[in-house]
Each structure stands twice: as C-alpha cells, then as structure tokens.
Structure 1
Amino acid sequence: MKRVYILLFGLVLLTTACDNDLDQVPPNIARSNSLKDFQGVLNAAYYYQIGSVTPMAVMGDFRADNAKMFESPYTEFDIYGPNLTAMDNQFFRPFYAAMYKAILSTNNVIENSSNATHVAEAKFLRALSYFKLVRVFGDVVVFTGTTPNIPDIPTYDLKRRPVADVYNNVIIPDLMAARDALSATRSSTGRATKYAAQGLLGKVYMQMGNFTLATPELAAVVNAAAAMGSSSTTQFHLRPTYAGVFGSTNDLNSEILFATQISSSIIDEYGFTEFWSWYLGQDTKSQSPVDPRLVSAYDNGDDRKSVNILQSGARIISPKYNQANGPNHDWIELRLADIILLYAEALNETTNASGLNSASILARLDPIRTRAGLTSLSGTALTQAAVRTAILNERRLELAFEGQRWFDLVRTGTVNAEMGVTIDSKYHLFPVPISEILATNGIITQNSGY
C-alpha cells in the first residue's frame, strides 16, 4: 500500500492553500484546519479544470467522426482496440489527475467553508468533475469527505463506484444544491451560476437517459433565457452570430453558461499540444485533422461551416480557435445552444411517440438555425425517430470542435450507425490510467478491453 500513500499524499499537497486571484496557481501548502478563508482553495478547483480541456477535446472529436489522427500511435483513436493505452501519459493520466485535484479542493471547501456561495460553487465544480470522469471512464473512485491525513489513507475505499451511484449520490445532489443556492445572474468573472448548475443537471439526466427528469431542468433554463431577452447584459441569451460565440475576444459572452477560463498569464499544468493547436492541424500527428465526413455534413449556406472548417491547400483544418490567441481562448463547458438542443431532444423523447409534435419540437431549433442562415426544420421530419436523427445532426454541426460529438454518440446509442463501423461497446469508454492501477496494487481496476 506504499504506492497508495504516495498517490494520495501528492493529491493532499496539491489541494491546499492558494491565492485569491483566479489567475494564480496555488503557491502555498497549508493544512485545511489552519485555513479561515477558502476562496483560494475554491479558485484551485476552478483552475484544475484546465487540465481536463485538451483531453476532453481530443476524446470528444478525434474519437468520433469530426476529426482524425494520422500518425501512429495516435491513430489508435480511430482503431477502437486495446492499444489506446499508448495515449495514457498525454491524455488520460493528466485528465484523471486534474479532476481529482479539483474534487479534493472542492471537498475542502464544502466541508470547511462557512461561505454558502463558495460551498455551492464547490458543489457545482465537484459535480462537473465527476460528470467528466464518468463519461470518460465509467465507474470511478469517489472521494466526498475531507482530505485525508496521511495515517488514515489505508482506510479509504479506493474501489471504483458504479456510474449510477456516482450520479445519484454525488453529481445530482451537488447540482441540485448548487442550483438552489447560486445566483441567477450571469457572472462577469465566470463563476458558476444557478443556470449553469440547472443546465448541467439537465444534461446529466440526458446522459442517464432520464428524459422525464431532464425536461423541466432544461425548460427552466431555456424559458428563463427567453424571458430575459437579448438586450440584457447581465443574463443569458443566444449571440446574434455564430462566430460571435468563439474567440478570445468573446470569452464569457451572453451565450456561455459556464466556461473553463484560460489565459496566457496562467501557468498551464497540461504540458502537451493544446486543443486549439490540434484543431488547427499544428501538431504533426494530425496536420489535416478535420474529417471529410463533417465537411459534407454542412449544407450550402450554413454560416457555421466557415467558422468550423477551412480548406488550406490539401489540408482541412478548423479555424474555430485562432492559433495566435490560443492561450487566451476559454473552453466552453456549457452554452445555451447546447441546452436548447437538449431540450428539444428531451421533448421528442417524452411527448412525441406518435410523431404528432414533430413540427413544434423542431421549431425550437429555429433560433439556432436562423442564426446559421438556414431555414426551419419544422415539417421536414414527421416521426419521433426522424426528429431524433435531425436533432443529433444539428448538435454535430452546432457543437463541432467543442468536445461533444463522441459523448453524444455514446449517449444516444448511435455509435455504430453514425461511425459506419461496428465498435465493441467496451471501447465506448477510455482506459483508466495505468499509474492509478499500479499505485493501488490493482484495487483500482482497468476498463474491459484494455
């Protein structure tokens, strides 16, 4: 168990005191029981989300039919076999470590802070971190208490908990608490809000396939945004143009429910090629990353195409995130268009078995399609199944290169149909970092197939 000590001791040290500025990396080490102000520890939980960004981008788009790798062993993303573990050091281990650092920081705030808003923000971040973990790995280890003292580490249960337990006992209760405690006003500094928590809760229910519970949460966000109106500077609404959602000059805009803030002034602990470079083909492993199947999926006149795709000679790249400004692009975790699409999907699953509501459900996509320069889909799909396909296609076009596609395919059970090949379901998940398995002498187990 010595390796367990090393693993958790490292996490203990990495989740302690910090500066009060989100642009700072935690510089100090202090025991939680010596702290009075947990603002810095909360800031650390926000900061550690940065370590998840590029791994989630690569897993979400390069594993799916939006982007491709060309250099071995990175081509394993498109092979769907046991050798994806070769990517452990660059993607899965940094992601895993960052999320547990965030979780242990949030636990510290939740258990010790007397500031109700800080506790609610910490619960949102803990739920977000666990949501990322279960979508990537399935069953995961759960820590919800205080950071352990070194002598107590052997008493901790390091076995992976079933996904359903993580949802029902951690993610959902945390998001409900955050939803009920946080402000409904959009934060100018990117803090978690009521609608970020409520939107994520709806997305979690959609991931679980519980459309009945998802519908009211998603509806609340969509309806609140509609009531606020597009002139509000302190509330959420769609941006007038698709291009206006992205780029460092548009960070924290009105459409963003929550984003992980990235700045060239912040030390980035992720030490590999970043998401903006991957999408732009700036890494030799994928110099023409955009999958031609995505190119052909866009209709003529779709304004989103020029934002997401650029033909550069023989190469097809995505200019969505400008390389020169790369280190200053925030990573969008959740935006209003995503919630609108999920809401339409939830309505289709709960109220449209006969297909009679198809037109009205597809009409809910009109603001998104009108912004893209397209006509309404209302009347083009008459059955529940056809509406389901139309919404999934719209999500692909709207959310391209935002790390969503693979997780949408897995969630909707359409991996084989959309990818055009039969992929064993055990490869819907990604490999648990080998370092975690070794550090716990096999108490943490590997996913099937790896």
Structure 2
Amino acid sequence: MKQLLRYLLLFWTVLAISCGKFLDVKPKDYVSDDQTITDKTSAQTALRGTYRKLSADGYYGSLFQTFGYLPGDNVQWTGSQSVIQQFITHNIQADNGNLASVWSAIYATINSANHVITKVPGVNDAAFSSDDKNQIVGEALAIRALSYFDLARTWGNVQITLTPTLTMADKENVEQRNQEAVYAQVLADLNAAEPLLKAPVSANPVRINQETVWALKARYYLYRGQWSEAAAYAAKVLADQKNYQLVQPYAAFFSPASTVATRESVFELSYSATYTNSHRNSWQPPANGGTRQWAPADAFITLVNDAAIGGNRKALVGRTSAGLWYGNLYYRSPATDPAYIIRIAELYLIYAEALAQQGKTTEALTPLNAVRGRAGLTDFTGTSKEAALLAIENERRVEFAFEPHRWFDLVRTNRAAAVLGLTDAQKYLFPIPAQEILLSKGRLAQNPGY
C-alpha cells in the first residue's frame, strides 16, 4: 500500500474504461481530492475510475487472474522467472513481486470505492437524483465487496478499511482481521448494495446491477458452504433469461473479435485500443505477436480435445503451424478482449453444486447438463451425490480453464490435496507481502507457514 499512499498524497486520479457511452467519457486527471466528487458529473467520473482500477493489470486485467489458474493444473509456465514459478510449485515467497502488485491493486480499488461510497451521498447537485446517487453508491459497494472477497479467498487475514485513505496517518490504527470478519464485510457490502441498485432493463454486463449482486451472493454463499442460499441466488439470476443465456456454441461469448457484452456475461470488464488487456500478450504465441508466457498444460490439452469432455470448448486452445499449443480466450489485436468476472455458466454450475450438496442430485443434473449441452456433450446421468459433485468439479475445470477459478475451487472444496498432491493446508492461503508486513508497524502478522 506504500505506493498507493504516496500517490494519494499528490492526487486521486480516476480514468475511464472505454465501453459504451458511460465508459467512453474521460475523467479529469490530477484533481485534488477535495474537488473530486462535488456534483453528478464528478461522481460518475469517480465511479469510472473505480471500474478502471478493478480492470487494471494488477487486478482483473491480468495478475490477479493468474492467482486463480497458475496454482491449479490447467496452465503451465513457459518462462524461467521464479516469481511465476512459485505459484505453480506452491512455494510462494513473501517477497514475490506479483504478490505485492496484486495486493496493492486490490486495495487501490477498495480505496477508490471508499471515496465514492463516502462522498456521493453528501453531494448537493439539483441534477443528481437520489436514484442516481443510489445506483453509483451501489455499484461501488459491489466492487468493494468483490475486492474483499478476493482478499479473503487469497490471503484470508487482512485489514478492512471503509473510509478513503489520503495520508499514511489515516490507516495507522487499522488492525488485521481474520478471514471470517473479511467475509462478513463482503456480505455486508452486498446486502447494502442490493436495494440501491436497479434490476437490468436490458443486458449491459459492463455495469453492475441488482442481479450482478445476486450473482456475487451466489458465489459468496457457495464458498461459505451455505448451500440453500447459494442455490436461491443462483436461481434468481438464471430466471432472467431475457438478459442472461448460455450463448451457442461455447466460443460465441468471446468470438469473433468484435464480440463483447453478450448475454453469457453477467459481469465483464471492457478494454479499448488505448486501454488494452495485457492478458492477451501473455497467452498468444510469438507467431501471433505474443510471448506465450503461460500456456495450456499437456493434461488440459488432452482433456479439452477429447470430444467427450471438451466438446466444442476445444476453441479455448489453438495450435501454431509449428505445433505449439496456446490458450485462445484472449487473442484480439489490439488487445481489447474483455475480462470475464462472472458468466452465466458459473451460475448454472453454482446452482448444480448447491443442489447436489443438499442431496438433490436429480435436480442438480438439469443445470449441470445445460452447461454440458452447450458444450456439445451428452447428459451426465450419475445418481449419487459424490458422482454429481465430481462431475461438476470436472465441468468447472474445463469450462473456466483460463479464468480465475480452478485453484480457488480446489481449495474451497478441500480437494487440493487429492488433485494437486498439496497436503500442507497452510499453503492454501498466500503469504502477505513482506513489504506490507514491514510498513504495518506490527498491525499485520504473516500467515502461518510463511
């Protein structure tokens, strides 16, 4: 957070995400904090800045996503830098640079959201209606909830800050909280956001709405093992078939290159030719102008190309004329590929898992087979709870192979030991960045095992 705090002493910069009319408006740069949110226009600018931070390279633009797939079994690292290899070998060091970058990026997003949440309600502008204020604050609350959710599942025990940070002194007395408290803050923010937001009139997944919060709640309750709540919120989103559908075939949500904001997406982040998604460069091979620093693992290539497992999801991988396999979810030039935060396929599989966990195996097969059917696979017909849960796990592995799910899925289901051979449960949380420990002056304790 040191870098964040240093910058905030000088200015609070918010930049636009370019997608649609809302995100095409460019905010002012270098505006002092006491002037950033004074009317409707500056409030909208501040919210765009919060979305921009969520989509930054250190967060969903690239690095945080690698936390979800590099420690799993779908992706291999083709380079030699130990900073990446540590995630694959589950030997992450507290001084890992990527670890520190992601931590800072998430807290920068939280701080941006805190400005909006704290200041927008007090803005005095005749053109700024209560409904408009509520919408902006609700979106910021949901982004803050997602940020704390990611902190909770990655590090567990972190600091919770709910007010804007302007100077180092502002956070001198912020104590570390345990994972339970962090998850409690996630739910509190989602509960606060839900009544402030409007239901979607038409699909616009680059903006958070009330149903986005329902989707985040479904994911939250799944992680918390609260199966009936997870099923209920997933079902609420799935009921809106006007705005959310499994698009056909699988690749239709990311191909052709002009495809954005389909009904597959419940929430996605947008990029433009001037604000690109750095993920593309890391996945594409040199033949396509990339570095292919991470690539599909051999085991995953076998799975996705098996017609009975991958089906039409083999579109996730490509192969050069020299026989080099690469991931093809991010491929556009310029790199305007969206970042997919929540797809409707996830809600189907959350619903299936939550039902199966309650012993409702027959009911669970319907949402599971909807995802399989979209992939061109035959229906799964297993009748036991154990078989259904394994089928759902396997489906999630392929469906979200290059999205940040696999590692977190194996940890939350206590399957990391069986699947990855990782028996040291202390490794299921990452180490808190060493620089944050030093800067905290004793308020942050390192996670056990590091």
TM-score class normalised by the smaller sequence? 0.7 to 0.9
Q: For 2:328, what is the secondary structure of its paired residue?
A: coil
The 5-angstrom pairing of residues 1-400 of structure 1 reads 8-11=5-8, 13=10, 15=12, 22-23=23-24, 24=26, 27-32=29-34, 35-37=37-39, 38-51=43-56, 52-53=59-60, 54-70=62-78, 71-73=80-82, 74-83=84-93, 85=94, 88-89=96-97, 91-114=98-121, 115-145=133-163, 147-148=164-165, 150=167, 152-153=169-170, 155-157=172-174, 159-168=175-184, 170-185=185-200, 186-188=202-204, 190-225=206-241, 228=242, 235-247=243-255, 248-266=257-275, 274-281=278-285, 289-298=295-304, 299-300=306-307, 302-312=310-320, 313-325=322-334, 327-350=335-358, 352=359, 357-377=360-380, 379=381, 381-400=382-401
Does the 8 Å contact 1:58/1:275 carry over to 2?
no
The change in CA–CA distance for 1:35 and 1:358 in structure 2 (over 3 A counts) is closer
Shift of 1:166: 1.5
Shift of 1:107: 1.2
Shift of 1:448: 2.5
Distance 2:448 2:282 in 1: 28
Shift of 1:12: 5.5
The change in CA–CA distance for 1:10 and 1:347 in structure 2 (over 3 A counts) is same
Distance 1:17 1:275 in 2: 22
Does the 8 Å contact 2:8/2:166 carry over to 1?
no
Shift of 1:284: 9.5
Shift of 1:102: 1.4
Q: For 1:365, what is the secondary structure of its paired residue?
A: helix
TM-score of the superposition, structure 1-length normalised? 0.85
- Ranges in structure 1 where 5+ consecutive residues have no aligned partner: 229-234, 269-273
- 113-122 or 243-252: bigger deviation: 243-252
Q: In structure 1, what residue type is equivalent to 2:444?
A: I
Q: Deviations over 1:125-177 (max 9, x none)?
A: 111111112122111111112x24548426531x3211111121x21121123
Distance 2:332 2:447 in 1: 35
Does the 8 Å contact 1:255/1:335 carry over to 2?
yes
Distance 2:254 2:34 in 1: 38
Q: Deviations over 1:38-95 (max 9, x none)?
A: 1111111100012302112211112100001242413222222254x46x32x22222
Q: In structure 1, what residue type is equivalent to 2:446?
A: Q
**1:271 aligned residue:** none
Shift of 1:18: 5.8
Shift of 1:15: 4.0
The change in CA–CA distance for 1:264 and 1:441 in structure 2 (over 3 A counts) is farther
Q: In structure 1, what residue type is equivalent to 2:376?
A: G
Shift of 1:19: 6.8
Distance 2:221 2:390 in 1: 19
Aligned length: 419
Q: Deviations over 1:243-301 (max 9, x none)?
A: 11114422111111111222222278xxxxx3223333559986572112212334316
Q: In structure 2, what residue type is equivalent to 1:415?
A: A
Q: In structure 2, what residue type is equivalent to 1:131?
A: F
Does the 8 Å contact 2:50/2:113 carry over to 1?
yes
Shift of 1:196: 0.9
Distance 1:360 1:305 in 2: 25
Shift of 1:449: 2.8
TM-score of the superposition, structure 2-length normalised? 0.85
Q: For 1:333, what is the secondary structure of its paired residue?
A: strand
Does the 8 Å contact 2:197/2:209 carry over to 1?
yes
Shift of 1:395: 0.7
Q: For 2:158, what is the secondary structure of its paired residue?
A: coil
Shift of 1:424: 1.2
The change in CA–CA distance for 1:436 and 1:285 in structure 2 (over 3 A counts) is farther
Q: In structure 2, what residue type is equivalent to 1:45?
A: T
- Ranges in structure 2 where 5+ consecutive residues have no aligned partner: 122-132
Q: For 2:159, what is the secondary structure of its paired residue?
A: coil
